[in-house]
Each structure stands twice: as structure tokens, then as C-alpha cells.
Amino acid sequence: QKEVEQNSGPLSVPEGAIASLNCTYSDRVSQSFFWYRQYSGKSPELIMSIYSNGDKEDGRFTAQLNKASQYVSLLIRDSQPSDSATYLCAVDSGTYKYIFGTGTRLKVLA
């Protein structure tokens, strides 16, 4: 059974701090990795994708991938209350079937 594991949280960080969200996956042939943000009652929206080992930065967001350790993370710098949401990690093995984690709830405290 292919799995994607995330800590459900809530992860609470003060405003302005760095939030660190982590995800591990079981399928070694996984090729593409995604972070989606989902506000309560809304649908997921893509915020980051990463396909090769290392870091990828986009504004306040940095995705990190370590395929040897089967680990992907998302760092949010200068966290804002508007970042409070559930963050879903998703893994694609090159098929049509994404595997989603159950999400980490982030709370940024003003």
C-alpha cells in the first residue's frame, strides 16, 4: 500500500516565524511532489511543486526534497495569519493516481 504520511497537527507558530511542514512517502519510484493549501471549506490550491532533489524557492515558500530519505518538506518564512490552513502533501508516481497525505493543519498566531 503506497502511503504519504503527514503529522495532522495543529502546528502553531507565531506570526513572523518559520513554519516547517513535513511529509514522508513510501513509494520509491515517486517522481513528482506537490504541496497544496486548503482553507477550511475550500478546495485545495497548488502552492509548490518539486521534481528533483534539493530546494525550490518561490517567494516565502521553500520546498525541499530528499528522495534517498523519501522525505519532502515545506518551509513558510515570515508566517502570516493568512497562512493558517491545512497543507496537503501529494505524491505522483508518474501515473494518474496521486497519493495525498491527510494534511497538516497550520495555525499562525497573531
Contacts with other proteins, residue ranges (CB under 8 A): 31-32, 34, 42-46, 49, 51, 88, 90, 92, 94, 96-98, 100-103
DSSP designation for 56: E
User: In the bound complex, what is the minimum distance in angstroms from residue 3's beta carbon to other proteins?
Assistant: 11
Q: How far apart are CA 109 and CA 102, in angstroms?
A: 22
Distances (CA, A) of 40 to 15, 20, 37, 76: 19, 20, 10, 19
Using alpha carbons, select from 70, 38, 34 the residue that is nearest to residue 53.
Answer: 70
71-76/61-66 β-pairing:
antiparallel
Measured from the CB atom, is 2 or 77 closer to other proteins? Answer: 2
Closest distance between other proteins and the C-beta of residue 100, in Å?
A: 4
Nearer to other proteins, 84 or 103 (CB): 103
Minimum CB–partner distance for residue 65 and other proteins (Å): 13
Nearer to other proteins, 75 or 92 (CB): 92
